[in-house]
A and B are shown apart, each in its own frame.
Chain A
């Protein structure tokens, strides 16, 4: 599938999801960031400053559009109007990457505005494949699908999530966006082995990685990790990241930080650290191959 973007993102690349308070620094200062990601839904107005900023990004950097509202994992038909809005945005700003979630955010008349995991059944898989097919046909390009965070061990799942995602990628030709913080948070919350999950993902499908920090909350005597992108990436997540990269080779990696957003410099340093981990992992892999 061909995409009309005008910038490649090199495999060894690190970026951030950029927030309005950092637009100016991102565009006018020297930094080491290779690409920027934005939530597509924040640019669906008819005009105004957000779109003017986006023009600036388009002129200078590869862009990644991360959608949060399509509800691809839902049981309802896709919202054609929303898809049309996304298509207009993509035509105009030619992002290098476009991603969405293995999640639903809408059910019938309720727009929940959160990313809820779908049932992992054959029926749901077929429906989600149809949704992804429709999106890729409408957008005339490949999209990436991100693994969700879990807070509940939902009853009735039949297919392990990595297998579900691999099948989705195989059947539709979509790529995967592996959010390693989501894997870790979910593994802790609903009790599975994060290493097994990471190892089960088909590396050739993964076209982007997300890293983020999370919060540790408590409800009565229950510890729960909340994927609120509020902190540095934790060590356990970085270790999983290194293990995955060791297996996959370099993959464009993005730092997400949405709550208690730090300075632009802190974000750039976090991205630089991720890039350094990738470099070291590649070196180690080469070393092991040579001996």
Chain B
């Protein structure tokens, strides 16, 4: 590369991307020709386009978080997030993955301790939405399968299964905010465990008992069905096993037996 082209390269690629990232006054940009206002106007278009595109990704990923804090504050938070986590992935859909952690340490929302958990639920929902296809067993087929295999059998789970356990009633908050006309909510004073799965075209979310959560978590982590049930008993000694099995069977998280 000749020196002149090398210079042009650096001026344009490094110069423009730095100017887009930066918040420095736009009239300092010296890589373009024309009047100062023309250059400033052009650069503002890029800065706005880039931030608006990423804001759109976040509001599409976290509609409930946006609803809880309001559009205006969400825009401010998205702007702060952009500068704290400069995007590097072409998979723009993953841009929001660090938002729950960011929210946890974002001082202006420290009075909303459940907000990060709601963000986690929304991320889990989105990743279930885009997860691979598989056929999950319905209640009848799964109960028949359980009858026919040894207790040491391991089950395969649907690729869209996501489990969450929160100290806050995160699913109740999330579901309540799906409906814009919903009435004032009386929140339970306990945490909630949630299972998310997309057995067909729709993402299903439901609150599950701590025992069922422990059992599903064990199965997802590769434990046998028996070990799963043991985990349920350990977490929730009073829960009847028959109920745990029924809840698992109706959840559509299991796709079959691992050979």
Contact = CB atoms under 8 A, between A and B. Distances in A.
Interface of A: 41, 44-52, 69, 74-75, 79, 82, 104, 106-114, 116, 118-119, 121-124, 150-157, 189-191, 217, 219-222, 224, 226
A222 B41 contact: yes
B50 A112 contact: yes
Contacts of A112: 17, 20, 50, 87
A219 B133 CA distance: 48
A48 B198 contact: yes
B5 A123 contact: yes
Interface string B4-32: 11111101111011001100000000011
A109 B91 CA distance: 13
Interface residues of B, number: 52
15 contacts: A44-B91, A49-B201, A50-B130, A74-B13, A75-B9, A113-B53, A118-B12, A119-B8, A122-B5, A123-B2, A124-B5, A152-B43, A154-B12, A155-B8, A155-B33
Contacts, number: 153
Contacts of B32: 152-155
B174 interface: no
Interface of B: 1-2, 4-9, 11-14, 16-17, 20-21, 31-35, 37-46, 49-50, 53-54, 86-93, 129-133, 159-160, 198, 201
B58 to A, nearest CB: 12
Given A47-B159, A123-B1, A224-B42, A41 B90 contact: yes
Contacts of A52: 201
A46 B90 contact: no
- Ranked 6 nearest A-B pairs via Cβ: A45-B130, A156-B8, A219-B41, A151-B42, A123-B5, A152-B42
A119 B46 CA distance: 16
Contacts of A152: 16, 31-32, 34, 39, 42-43, 46
Given A113-B53, A154-B31, A155-B31, 15 more contacts: A46-B131, A47-B160, A69-B90, A110-B21, A116-B46, A123-B1, A151-B42, A152-B34, A154-B12, A156-B11, A219-B37, A220-B37, A221-B37, A222-B35, A226-B45
A44 B91 CA distance: 8
B156 to A, nearest CB: 16
Contact of B41 (A46, A49, A114, A224): A224
